[in-house]
């Protein structure tokens, strides 16, 4: 039995005996069907990605969809959607290694859903769904949505879903993470520069201390030299005085 959370932005675990989605990712050309073979996505194993996205009317009628991988994603999604409560809040549900993100229009009954790697978080999937919602509302009016049949908008809207997924799966899509990495790099450089400045300041302090010690030694040496000079001068003066007295006494006597 599945477990659902309540409240805005909560993430819930989805359990049960359903087959978990599996498969390998691939890139499709515009207009391919879900079963057509396609090459593998480059670099898909190195970072989390959005794997599957669809637009539905309610939990059962799929209007358009696109997957970047071969697998049972559609079946797993269609088993999960009927269990999701209808709400205007953005919801995320954990399903093994994946996460399902849902953005619903309660007034029209249109659901925008995507399946992504669990490690991708919520920001990029919901950014993709918001972009998909805006594009969808530009394409279709309420009467068209109400009268649409299963996959009735697939041929027209397939390319828009694919473009949105590719845009937000791009390596530079997460600008916040990119900016954070740049800030960390700047901080590392700044810390490195500060360390060098501190190290240089330490060296300058050592040189200043040594210069002060040399100056003090020079002052002490000069003071000592003056004292020695005075002692030698007085000694010589006494010797000369004694010699002069001896000469005078010798002459007198």
Each residue's pLDDT expressed in tens, for the chain with a length of 253 residues? 333 343 345 556 555 444 456 554 444 443 333 333 333 343 455 689 999 999 999 999 999 999 998 888 888 899 999 998 888 889 999 988 999 999 999 999 999 999 999 999 999 999 999 999 999 999 999 999 999 999 999 999 999 999 999 999 998 777 666 665 666 666 666 556 666 666 777 777 777 787 888 888 888 888 888 888 888 888 888 888 888 888 877 787 7
pLDDT computed for residue 182 by the predictor: 62
Pairing of strands 91-95, 69-71: unpaired
Measured distance CA(173)–CA(170) in Å, rounded: 5
Please state, as a whole number, how many other Cβ atoms lie within 10 Å of the Cβ of residue 118.
14
pTM, rounded to two decimals: 0.58
pLDDT value for 223? 84
pLDDT at 248: 79
The pairing of strands 91-95 and 11-13 is parallel
């Amino acid at each position: 039995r599945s477990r659902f959370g309540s409240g805005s932005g909560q993430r819930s675990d989805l359990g049960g005996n359903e087959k978990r989605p599996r498969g390998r990712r691939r890139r499709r050309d515009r207009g391919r069907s879900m079963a057509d073979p396609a090459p593998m996505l480059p670099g898909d194993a190195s970072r989390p990605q959005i794997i599957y996205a669809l637009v539905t009317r309610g939990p059962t009628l799929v209007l358009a969809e696109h997957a970047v991988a071969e697998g049972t994603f559609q079946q797993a999604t269609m088993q999960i959607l009927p269990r999701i409560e209808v709400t205007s809040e953005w919801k995320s549900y954990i399903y093994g290694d994946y996460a399902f993100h849902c953005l619903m229009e309660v007034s029209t009954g249109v659901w925008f859903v995507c399946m992504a790697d669990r490690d991708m978080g919520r920001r990029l999937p919901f950014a993709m769904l918001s972009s998909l919602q805006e594009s969808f509302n530009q394409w279709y009016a309420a009467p068209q949505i109400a009268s649409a049949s299963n996959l009735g908008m697939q041929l027209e809207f397939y390319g828009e879903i694919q473009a949105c997924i590719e845009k937000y799966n791009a390596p530079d899509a997460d600008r916040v993470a990119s900016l954070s990495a740049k800030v960390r790099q700047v901080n590392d450089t700044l810390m490195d520069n500060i360390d060098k400045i501190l190290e240089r300041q330490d060296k300058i302090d050592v040189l200043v201390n040594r210069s002060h010690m040399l100056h003090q030694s020079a002052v002490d040496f000069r003071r000592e030299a003056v004292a020695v000079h005075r002692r030698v001068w007085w000694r010589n003066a006494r010797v000369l005085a004694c010699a002069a007295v001896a000469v005078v006494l010798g002459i007198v006597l």
